[in-house]
Amino acid sequence: QKEVEQDPGPLSVPEGAIVSLNCTYSNSAFQYFMWYRQYSRKGPELLMYTYSSGNKEDGRFTAQVDKSSKYISLFIRDSQPSDSATYLCAMNPGGNKLVFGAGTILRVKS
């Protein structure tokens, strides 16, 4: 069983929709939870991170962590075609290790 599970999609939504992207994990030692965005033929870029449980908001993006359920989410409000990308969750159990999910392909149609 993978430490981090993420539905690969693709997830296709109309412009303006609210998007929900999710990851589940099995390692209760994970402390930091991150979301990366990867455009086609590019390297990933960090969108946002949270520490422990709770919500964090940054513009149209909200990251949510539920450690009791071992479940994290990224919400995108008012989605735009420019949000079309692969979204990767990543988690840190401490130290310098990062464990990534497989990524969810998101397509926002105009």
How far apart, in Å, do the first and last CA atoms of the chain sit? 37
Are 3 and 90 contacting, i.e. CB atoms less than 8 angstroms apart? no
Q: Tell me the per-residue interface mask from 40 to 79 with another protein, x by CB under 8 A, - otherwise.
A: -xxxxxx--x-x----------------------------
Q: Which of 1, 59, 97, 110 binds another protein (CB under 8 A)?
A: 97
Measured over the CA atoms of residue 29, residue 34, residue 39 and residue 42, the dihedral's sign is negative
* Residue number, 17 or 105, with CB nearest to another protein: 105
Rank residues 89 and 108 by Cβ distance to another protein and give the closer one.
89
Instruction: Determine, following the binding rule CB under 8 A, whether residue 95 of this chain makes contact with another protein.
Output: yes
Residue 6 CB neighbours (<10 A): 20
Cβ at position 14, least distance to another protein in Å = 27
Distance CA 77, CA 61 (A): 7
Are 22 and 73 within 8 A, CB to CB?
Answer: yes
Q: Which of 62, 64, 72, 103 binds another protein (CB under 8 A)?
A: 103
**Binding region for another protein (CB under 8 A):** 4, 6, 8, 32, 34, 41-46, 49, 51, 88, 90, 92, 95-103
